[in-house]
């Protein structure tokens, strides 16, 4: 294919601004699906966790044909925790569609993804999405986007960005927000006109940078990347250049390009194509596939370092080995190091003890997705409380600081500010909106956010919206008390009873109901006061001839709090662990 008819672009935005929905519309209107085919929403989110949570976790490739042009599209995540996915795809594309919500305007993650795109010199198209939304303000949002471009020191060419208005859910685009569109043709035309064709020389020696790694049980590791120079052919001998400059000669056994949602086998591909290569052993993200006679590596874009770390331990609780398939340190270590090969923003290091691994990532969500994937695969392990990754800068102890953006009603401002005060937050900006909403922007140490989401939702009666992204490193700000209450700890091993729980619930809030297997030292609730309290939740009512066994039914229990994985991670204290198995989440004291 002539590289002048190829357009490589990524869709970037803050979380929930409509990236995946827009890709759905582009796929449908380009003829990827036939007219009567039933297509589920967010068709690009194929991972179970992505569909359950309604978020994109992994960057994904697709391609559509528009007339004579082939548009290679990369859908990227919007959450700050998965920023590594955005950072690595910028060298695979020549332009970006920056999606911005017509009501919310630029948000913290909009700044992050745009900065990466501008630094890579990509051509931007600004897409103002959700123009049908109540209180939409597209004209004002364009001004806010321009201010953001100027603040991020965009080049003169990048500042001349074109703007288009869309309703991704309806599949329409228009150049005038006052005139409703009928389809996405104006967007396709703008992509062809404003996103440059790939540069590179098809006659030069081969250079292909590996940006993503896929895995297939039949063909093994699949390297996804863009051909910067040269041409690659099926069954060709190539040189795989590792990050340590080690060169290994191998043969390409499979070569594919993207067509819609499928991988289409081809005999050869040339400069500008985004391809999938199979048959190469031990290939990783950041490697270069090159001409064996003239192996020249490509430079890989720098990836921001992790900010949050968790220790993974082999499960040593009294219930160890009951529910999991993989319980040894060897299996756990192999799986964690394998994850690091495909996730560029993850770091895994073995500790001095053979049964502990330190795993560092971009945030609690990033690590909780990994933990959830492991438990679904049958792994059983324990994790520690999340800790921030500190650095010494010019001899000064520094910690990561996040930019926290809160959208709340005016009457909740007081209680929210009061809750953030002890967490060492610093107010940066306050914006009052016409609809009685207020946007508060803070700088807050990453430590100060541990456990805050549930408190924020309680304070705002579930109506607040909270987003945060890493901003900078700052000098360590001293002790932060993120948890003011202790734990209710089980006194003995057994099954919880209604009678034992009824007495215990007067002391605090419970996390379990009756009939749950318990071991000594397990955390079964939150104390209503500071400090831990040992309680007996397995206690049975003594039966005499004056009482019948059915008197147990009269126990009145308050519904217990169901704890999600993220809530458990935020709740545990420094002297506690979270036991994770395919069926259960149990919090416990380190020393039983």
Q: Residue 332 sits in a domain of what CATH number?
A: 3.30.70.870
Q: Are residues 383 and 403 in the same domain?
A: no
Among 205, 209, 206, 200, smallest CA distance to 288 is for 209
Among 484, 477, 427, smallest CA distance to 451 is for 484
Q: Are residues 114 and 28 in the same domain?
A: yes
Q: Are residues 225 and 107 in the same domain?
A: no
CATH label of the domain that carries residue 234:
2.40.30.10
User: Across 73-77, 373-377, 433-437, which has the greatest mean pLDDT?
Assistant: 373-377
pLDDT above 90: percentage of residues in the chain:
40
CATH label of the domain that carries residue 59:
3.40.50.300
Res 78: pLDDT: 59
Res 47: pLDDT: 55
Determine phi and psi for 551, rounding to 5 degrees: -65, -15
Q: Are residues 155 and 168 in the same domain?
A: yes
Q: Are residues 317 and 402 in the same domain?
A: no
Among residues 194, 217, 252, which one ends one of the domains?
A: 194
CATH label of the domain that carries residue 493:
2.40.50.250
Reported as a single tens digit per residue, the pLDDT across 247-269 is 889 899 999 998 877 888 999 99
Among residues 420, 453, 474, which one ends one of the domains?
A: 474
Q: Are residues 49 and 178 in the same domain?
A: yes
| Tally of structural domains, the chain | 5
19 is in an annotated binding site: yes
For 4-39, the three-class secondary structure string (H helix, E strand, C coil) is: HHEEEEEEEECCCCCHHHHHHHHHHHCCCCCCCCCC
263 is in an annotated binding site: no
- Whole-prediction pTM: 0.77
- Cβ neighbors of 31 (< 8 A, separation 6 or more) are 65
129 is in an annotated binding site: yes
14 is in an annotated binding site: no
Reported as a single tens digit per residue, the pLDDT across 308-359 is 999 999 999 999 999 989 999 999 999 999 888 777 788 999 988 889 999 9
Q: Are residues 180 and 62 in the same domain?
A: yes
pLDDT above 70: percentage of residues in the chain:
91
Among 216, 207, 131, 213, smallest CA distance to 174 is for 131
Reported as a single tens digit per residue, the pLDDT across 92-119 is 899 999 999 998 888 877 887 888 888 8
User: Is 296 part of any domain?
Assistant: no
Report the range of poorest mean pLDDT among 20-24, 498-502, 574-578: 20-24
Report the range of poorest mean pLDDT among 77-91, 360-374, 391-405: 77-91
Indicate the angle between helix axes 185-194 and 19-29, nearest 10 degrees. 100
18 is in an annotated binding site: yes
Q: Is 96 helix (H, G, I), strand (E, B) or coil?
A: strand
Q: Are residues 26 and 165 in the same domain?
A: yes
Among 451, 453, 443, smallest CA distance to 477 is for 443
131 is in an annotated binding site: yes
pLDDT tops 90 at residue 398? yes
Q: Are residues 44 and 166 in the same domain?
A: yes
Q: Are residues 168 and 44 in the same domain?
A: yes
Q: Mean pLDDT, to the nearest integer, of 268-293? A: 88
21 is in an annotated binding site: yes
CATH label of the domain that carries residue 453:
3.30.70.240
Q: Are residues 272 and 141 in the same domain?
A: no
Among residues 339, 370, 388, which one ends one of the domains?
A: 388
User: Is 482 part of any domain?
Assistant: no
User: Is 588 part of any domain?
Assistant: no
How does residue 189 score in pLDDT terms, banded at 50, 70 and 90? Answer: very high
Res 259: pLDDT: 83
Res 534: pLDDT: 93
Q: Does residue 469 contact residue 397 with C-beta atoms inside 8 Å?
A: no
130 is in an annotated binding site: yes
Higher pLDDT, 58 or 511: 511
The torsion defined by the Cα of 460, 466, 470 and 474, in degrees rounded to 10, comes to -20
Among 236, 348, 180, 213, smallest CA distance to 286 is for 213
User: Is 133 part of any domain?
Assistant: yes
**Which structural domain range is residue 240 located in?**
207-290
Is the Cα torsion angle 21, 27, 29, 33 positive or negative in sign? Answer: negative
């Amino acid at each position: 294919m002539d590289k002048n008819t190829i357009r490589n672009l990524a869709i970037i935005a803050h979380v929930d601004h409509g990236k995946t929905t827009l890709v759905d519309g582009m796929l449908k209107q380009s003829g990827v699906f036939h007219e009567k085919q039933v297509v589920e929403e967010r068709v690009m989110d194929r991972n179970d966790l992505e569909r359950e949570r309604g978020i994109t976790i992994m960057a994904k490739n697709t391609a559509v044909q528009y007339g004579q042009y082939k548009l290679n599209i990369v859908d990227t995540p919007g959450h700050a925790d998965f920023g590594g996915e955005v950072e690595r795809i910028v060298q695979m594309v020549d332009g970006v569609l920056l999606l911005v919500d017509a009501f919310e305007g630029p948000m913290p993650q909009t700044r992050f993804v745009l900065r990466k795109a501008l630094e890579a010199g990509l051509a931007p198209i600004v897409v103002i999405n959700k123009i049908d939304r109540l209180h939409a303000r597209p004209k004002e949002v364009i001004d806010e986007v321009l201010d953001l471009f100027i603040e991020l020191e965009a080049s003169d060419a990048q500042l001349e960005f074109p703007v288009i208005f869309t309703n991704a859910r309806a599949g329409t685009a228009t150049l005038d927000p006052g005139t409703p569109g009928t389809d996405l043709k104006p967007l396709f035309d703008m992509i062809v006109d404003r996103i440059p064709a790939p540069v590179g020389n098809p006659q030069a020696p081969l250079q292909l940078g590996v940006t993503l790694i896929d895995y297939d049980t039949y063909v093994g590791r699949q390297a996804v990347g863009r051909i910067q120079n040269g041409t690659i052919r099926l069954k060709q001998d190539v040189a795989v250049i590792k990050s340590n400059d080690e060169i290994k000669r191998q043969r390409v056994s499979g070569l594919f390009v993207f067509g819609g949602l499928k991988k289409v086998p081809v005999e050869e591909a040339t400069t500008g194509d985004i391809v999938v290569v199979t048959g190469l052993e031990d290939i990783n993200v950041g490697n270069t596939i090159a001409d064996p006679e003239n192996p020249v590596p490509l430079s890989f874009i720098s990836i921001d370092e992790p900010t949050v770390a968790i220790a993974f331990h082999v499960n040593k609780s009294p219930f160890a080995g009951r529910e999991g398939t993989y319980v040894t340190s060897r299996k756990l270590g192999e799986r964690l190091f394998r994850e690091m090969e495909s996730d560029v923003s993850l770091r895994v290091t073995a500790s001095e003890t053979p049964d502990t691994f330190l795993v560092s990532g971009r945030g609690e969500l990033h690590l909780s997705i990994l933990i959830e994937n492991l438990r679904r695969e049958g792994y059983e392990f324990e994790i520690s409380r999340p800790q921030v990754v500190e650095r010494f800068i010019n001899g000064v102890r520094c910690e990561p600081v996040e930019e926290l953006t809160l959208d709340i009603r005016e009457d909740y401002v007081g209680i929210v500010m009061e809750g953030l005060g002890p967490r060492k937050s610093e107010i940066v900006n306050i914006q009052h909106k016409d609809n009685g909403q207020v946007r508060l922007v803070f700088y807050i140490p990453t430590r100060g956010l541990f456990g805050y989401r549930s408190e924020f939702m309680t304070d705002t009666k579930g109506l607040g919206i909270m987003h945060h992204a890493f901003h900078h490193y700052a000098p360590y700000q001293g002790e932060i008390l993120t948890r003011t209450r202790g734990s209710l700890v089980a006194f003995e091993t057994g099954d919880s009873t209604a009678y034992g729980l009824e007495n215990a619930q007067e002391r605090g809030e419970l996390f379990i109901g009756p009939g749950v297997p318990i071991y000594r030292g397990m955390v079964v609730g939150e104390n209503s006061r500071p400090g831990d309290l040992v309680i007996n939740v397995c206690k049975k009512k003594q039966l005499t001839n004056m009482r019948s066994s059915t008197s147990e039914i009269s126990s009145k229990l308050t519904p217990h709090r169901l704890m999600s994985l993220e809530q458990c991670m935020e709740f545990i204290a420094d002297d506690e662990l979270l036991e994770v198995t395919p069926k259960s989440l149990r919090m416990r004291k380190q020393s039983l």
